């Protein structure tokens, strides 16, 4: 290998190290917040957390789609979801609580928010997206690293998982009747989430009333 190629490999490895560290940082914050919520309210808003680093193939594909050359600089500047965390909750109310708790962290900077719950995509997709940066403290510098955070209910995640499979199966051109059924399922998911939230609020209200007796 030429020297420049070695430098490129070293840079790539360092970048991935930083993104992996950012995932650890956000994961730790979420675990602490969840533990605190359990301690104060006797309730865990987070069902589970998934995290991943985007593959090099996916990064290159996204850069090409945006019209950029496949360089590390472009990757860092123009691909916001290289490090991704998905937070799965029981209820829609949990989503906004978690988003607020993250926003209140002093070292987290929010770059953008997309609320696909209040404004679903035409396909029926619902989720709450945040692009944030977290500081990563290395031995000789501090790097602000971008992380995409998706927050959704269990039902939303189930729907999104199926939609993702269909998208890749048909390369984004699913038959019209399947697209229509997906939208119908998304509406059913929304109704289910609303009913579950209402039921949970009623249970909590009854529990609070019993304590006052």
148 a catalytic residue: yes
Laid out side by side, the sheet with 46-53 consists of 46-53, 83-89, 142-153, 128-137, 109-115
- Of 2, 25, 57, 148, catalytic: 148
CA distance 62 to 79: 7
What H or E segment, with its residue span, contains residue 131?
A: strand 128-137
How many of the other CB atoms lie within 10 Å of CB of 20? 15
Sign of CA dihedral 95, 182, 81, 52: positive
Closest alpha carbon to 85 in 156, 152, 40: 152
CA distance 10 to 2: 13
**And the tokens for 185?**
């399922």
Closest alpha carbon to 46 in 104, 106, 86, 81: 86
Where in the sequence numbering do the catalytic residues fall? 148
């Amino acid at each position: 290998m030429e020297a420049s190629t070695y430098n490129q490999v070293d840079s790539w490895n360092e970048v991935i190290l930083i993104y992996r560290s950012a995932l650890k940082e956000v994961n730790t914050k979420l675990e602490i917040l969840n533990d605190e919520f359990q301690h104060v309210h006797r309730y865990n808003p987070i069902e589970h957390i998934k995290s991943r680093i985007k593959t090099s193939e996916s990064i290159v594909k996204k850069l090409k789609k945006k019209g950029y050359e496949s360089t590390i600089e472009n990757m860092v500047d123009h691909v916001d979801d290289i490090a991704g965390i998905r937070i799965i909750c029981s209820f829609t109310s949990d989503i906004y609580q978690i988003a607020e708790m993250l926003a209140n962290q002093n070292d987290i900077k929010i770059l953008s928010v997309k609320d696909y719950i209040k404004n679903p995509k035409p396909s029926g997709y619902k989720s709450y997206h945040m692009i944030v940066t977290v500081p990563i403290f290395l031995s000789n510098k501090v790097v602000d690293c971008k992380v995409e955070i998706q927050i959704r209910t269990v039902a939303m995640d189930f729907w999104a998982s199926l939609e993702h499979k269909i998208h890749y199966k048909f390369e984004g051109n699913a038959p019209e009747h399947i697209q229509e059924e997906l939208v119908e399922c998304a509406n059913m998911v929304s109704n289910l989430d609303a009913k579950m939230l209402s039921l949970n609020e009623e249970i909590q209200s009854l529990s609070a009333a019993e304590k006052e007796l």
